[in-house]
Structure 1
Amino acid sequence: MRANFVRVPAADLYRRLFALSCEQDLDSVLRRILDLVLEETGAERGFLVTPGPGGDLLVRAARGLDGAAVGGPGMRPSRTVVRRAIAAAAPVRIQRAQDASELAEQTSIAESSLQSILAVPVLEGGEVVAVVCADSRRPNAFPPGLEASIAALSQPLGAALRNARVVSTLRQHNRALADRLAARDGPAILGECPAMLATLDLLRRAAPTRASVLLLGETGTGKELLARELHRAGRRAAGPFVTVNCAALPDDLIEAELFGHVAGAFTGATQDRAGLFREAHGGTVFLDEVGELGPRAQSRFLRVLETGEIQRVGSDRSERVDVRVVAATHRNLLDPELGFRQDLFYRLAALTVTVPPLRERGNDVLLLAEAFCQQAAMELGRSIEGLGEEARQLVLKHSWPGNVRELRNAMHHGVVFCTGRRITPADLPEDVRSGAAACAGKAFFVRRAPASWDELQVLKKEAGLDLERAWAEEVLRRTRGNISAAARAAGLSRAAFYGLLERVSLRPEDFRSRRPPSP
């Protein structure tokens, strides 16, 4: 029979224990265990402590009887009493701490004038996995029978904690598996051009650091895959990688999605939710299209970067989070018309990496196209060798405004409609064919007016390659791919002509099956 000091009715206690056993969020389980013990004991304050590495003690939750968070100087549990409970694997009850010389001089007890302390271990398979420490300034606040009553909860609470830990571990493993599978989604990080090699080198040097990284580049350039590579190459690779598409979140819900909320914070918030930043604890959070964040969300996000703390919507309690932030945008965040906070920009842009668009990556487009062809052929069960020569020329001529994403889709389209061994122009999407047709009859074409001197030099180089490619293609066509004859016709050595073909991505074997037009 339960003693009259128990604050929670039996039926309600069993209901809450059942709810705890169904809870999957580890942090929520820890807080609810603390709340339950506080109500059972009637203590003024409570702390939930877990053993840490090297014998350290980690305070995972702390609050008063009214549910309010407690903190500040002196607001910490008695570590001596907590360690006694861990060593004994049994509750430890102190009735008059001020009369015990070994306790009265401790800062945590003296500053708060504590008298009564009750430390209850939470057991998981006989091992202490947490300790709930309740205290009060009143002497004899915890009757003799209370520790036995609370101790009876130790195993059920340990089982709830174990379930939440198993789920947490499974989620981490699933995230790690998803990251590994994501690496197989396509070769968007393949690249040999100087601009892409420079980008990858910056990422390799940034990976071991804790600094925030801002990825700048047009839509479809592969910024998310680069962010995943940054995460995998860093010290947080074993932690979660959480992606947030800022452009897809409604303004009125973005704070709750990022930072979490408590039950009742707004209509429809029926239970506590941890939020994406809490889910990314110990890992990386990737904020895609960060330029779409509204003013209020920007302000809250800046506070997270400055303090390392989040505050759930509807709560007045701050929580520490350990995350690395990688953000991406296709916008100019310093444009005054965008209204993006400059102080937030400089927090995000501790390291800035620019991802080049596909049109500036030279022959990388063919490297990627062939890889996407093989990937699509494997997925669709097709036996296709790759791109034919005319299709390769179309791929080189197209400006790819949708970048790598557009190229992947175009190659998938080509594999679907290909009826031979190699993809022909007829197999490619209409916009790829029409883009090349628009520049038919020209030795080269200008994709757009250069915006800077550096871009002018890039376009001049591309125009020169177009001229070389057109000339080499004509020589190969006349000689039907015979290298010796083509080199003589071009006035070059075989080695020099091979160098030209490699530079403009032409293969003589693609011209050997052709026959000159009939006279």
Structure 2
Amino acid sequence: MQPETGRIAILEDDPIMGESLMQGLSLEGHTVQWWKKGEEALRQLAEESSGFDLVLCDIRLPDMNGEEVFRQSSRSSATPFLFMTGFGDVDQAVRLMRSGAVDFITKPFDMSSLLQRIDNTLRGRPRHSADTGLGISRSMRDAAMMLRRYANHPLPVLIQGETGTGKEVAARFLHGVSSNAKAPFVAVNCAAIPAELLESELFGHEKGAFTGAGNLHRGYAERAGSGILFLDEIGDMPNALQAKLLRLIEERKFNRLGGESEIRFTARIVCATHQEIGADGSSFRKDLYFRLSALPVTLPPLRERPEDILWLAQAFLEEIIRTRETKIRGIGIMAEDAMLEHPWPGNARELRNRLERAAALSENPLLLPSDVFPDARPIREHECLGTLSVARDAAERRQILRALSSTNGQVAQAAKQLGVSRTTLWEKMNRFGIESGVRSEN
């Protein structure tokens, strides 16, 4: 079995040690980046496109210690950390492992021992991001890793992203991978319920609490039991109700409307919004925002993760074929090209809706561009003209995306399918801005 390779960042201020590690890891086939300061590491780890598989981190740094870098980066990234430590820092390294670091190695160490630990860590990466239902791109794999890390914490989770990016899917994934998966998952769309009814729906009401309240009504907070209360579009919650939600979080109890006895709240709160509710200009309560965003996750729009387009399209179409009457049996190459070129302003929801409409109306066994985009204007001949280089790059990019989709993002298998080496495929992916999140063993 050949060693697993990946993208590794080194955080080490010693020039001799850093250079030695960089050369050794590069020779083993890893893609390596070297940082000398914690501030530089935090800045690059915060970028959604960073996509490192492992950070090899020294605990003692010139501007801050490795523990501080790890804790700050964990708020925005699920990148694993392997710490390099002296004998005097072993207790700190053990504490970091309890907080989520994957491993530590004590200095001085030989390169073979470090390489074995790195290989073990990379082989332990989640390989089947397709099982998450989120996507095969690196950004969605990172989101899935973050949700797994959050799964058994009691704190609220805030999932942010544009409309249609799959925030409820992510919330259900969080619930499904938790140890409490059999408990209820109760979803409430705060934008879909009239403001005057939302409080009653959320907290319930006693019989006779108001005109028309003929029976006792148990609200969503009560029905969630010990499971998850998912509040979608939390940014649309009225200000008066935000104060009551804050009390619910802080005191873990509530009253039904018209009721005097307090009811214990035992569910976990997970929220989602497409709004920037933490921004300075937002009318959303800042104290509530800070409570809800204890464990944040951001889902990028579909246009920023083209690797997921065909993978999602195939998953949606398979479900449609399985559950409905349709003549469609697959997606034609020209329709795939059209999908890869479309900007998807409505994200995954738009993709699903277009496929559902196409499956219902098309008479073709393979989807054509006109089935998926019946509203698109015809492209005139002069608009198609371009250089051979541009056309070749576009064709290569589409073919790489197809291969990644068909192999669930596994680069080694995609390279074999395309008839190129894995190194060549990685170079082309970097050139075209494609970052797959799943790799396979060779």
TM over 0.5: yes
Q: How many Å apart are 1:465 and its aligned residue?
A: 9.5
Give the Cα–Cα distance (whole angstroms) in 1 for the partners of residues 233 and 323 of structure 2. 30
Pick from 194, 198, 201 the counterpart of residue 250 of structure 1. 194
Aligned to 1:325: 269
Aligned to 1:421: 365
Give the Cα–Cα distance (whole angstroms) in 1 for the partners of residues 268 and 222 of structure 2. 12
Give the Cα–Cα distance (whole angstroms) in 1 for the partners of residues 380 and 295 of structure 2. 41
TM-score by length of 1: 0.50
SS at match of 1:210: coil
| CA deviation string 1:466-502 (max 9, x = no partner) | 862246889xxxxxxxxxxxxxxxxxx9526994999
Q: How many Å apart are 1:408 and its aligned residue?
A: 0.7
Give the Cα–Cα distance (whole angstroms) in 2 for the partners of residues 360 and 267 of structure 1. 50
Quote the sequence identity (%).
37
Q: Which amino acid aligns with 2:394?
A: R
2:356 matches 1:412: yes
Give the Cα–Cα distance (whole angstroms) in 1 for the partners of residues 322 and 383 of structure 2. 33
Provide closer, same or farther for how the CA distance between residues 264 and 402 of structure 1 changes in structure 2, counting only shifts above 3 A: same
SS at match of 1:401: coil
2:217 matches 1:273: yes
Q: What are the equivalent positions in structure 2 for 1:332-343 lying under 5 Å apart? A: 332-343=276-287
Pick from 289, 296, 303 the counterpart of residue 233 of structure 2. 289
Aligned to 1:304: 248
Q: Which amino acid aligns with 1:415?
A: A
User: In the alignment, is the contact (CA less than 8 A) between 1:363 and 1:396 conserved in 2?
Assistant: no
Give the Cα–Cα distance (whole angstroms) in 1 for the partners of residues 379 and 245 of structure 2. 45
User: In the alignment, is the contact (CA less than 8 A) between 2:200 and 2:219 conserved in 1?
Assistant: yes
Pick from 206, 209, 218 the counterpart of residue 153 of structure 2. 209
Give the Cα–Cα distance (whole angstroms) in 2 for the partners of residues 330 and 262 of structure 1. 33
Give the Cα–Cα distance (whole angstroms) in 1 for the partners of residues 378 and 339 of structure 2. 10
Q: Which amino acid aligns with 1:288?
A: D
Give the Cα–Cα distance (whole angstroms) in 1 for the partners of residues 382 and 144 of structure 2. 33
Structure 2: unaligned runs, 5 residues or longer: 1-129, 400-417, 433-442
Aligned to 2:420: 495
Instruction: Note the aligned Cα RMSD (angstroms).
Output: 3.3
Give the Cα–Cα distance (whole angstroms) in 1 for the partners of residues 270 and 361 of structure 2. 39
Give the Cα–Cα distance (whole angstroms) in 2 for the partners of residues 211 and 237 of structure 1. 16
Aligned to 2:117: none
Q: Which amino acid aligns with 1:423?
A: L
Q: How many Å apart are 1:426 and its aligned residue?
A: 2.1
Pick from 351, 374, 388 the counterpart of residue 295 of structure 2. 351
User: In the alignment, is the contact (CA less than 8 A) between 2:134 and 2:170 conserved in 1?
Assistant: no
Q: Which amino acid aligns with 2:307?
A: N
User: In the alignment, is the contact (CA less than 8 A) between 2:204 and 2:220 conserved in 1?
Assistant: yes
TM-score by length of 2: 0.58
Instruction: Say how many residue pairs are matched.
Output: 282
Give the Cα–Cα distance (whole angstroms) in 2 for the partners of residues 191 and 279 of structure 1. 31
User: In the alignment, is the contact (CA less than 8 A) between 2:340 and 2:398 conserved in 1?
Assistant: no
Aligned to 2:317: 373
In terms of Rg, which structure is larger?
1
Aligned to 1:386: 330
Larger RCO of the pair (alpha carbons < 8 Å, separation 6+):
2
Identify the range of structure 1 (269-278 vs 300-309) with the bigger mean alpha-carbon deviation: 269-278
SS at match of 2:271: strand
Q: How many Å apart are 1:437 and its aligned residue?
A: 7.6
Give the Cα–Cα distance (whole angstroms) in 2 for the partners of residues 260 and 193 of structure 1. 41
Q: Which amino acid aligns with 2:165?
A: T
Aligned to 1:241: 185
Give the Cα–Cα distance (whole angstroms) in 1 for the partners of residues 132 and 288 of structure 2. 29
SS at match of 1:375: helix
Provide closer, same or farther for how the CA distance between residues 203 and 222 of structure 1 changes in structure 2, counting only shifts above 3 A: same
Pick from 384, 395, 398 the counterpart of residue 441 of structure 1. 384
Aligned to 1:3: none
2:394 matches 1:469: yes
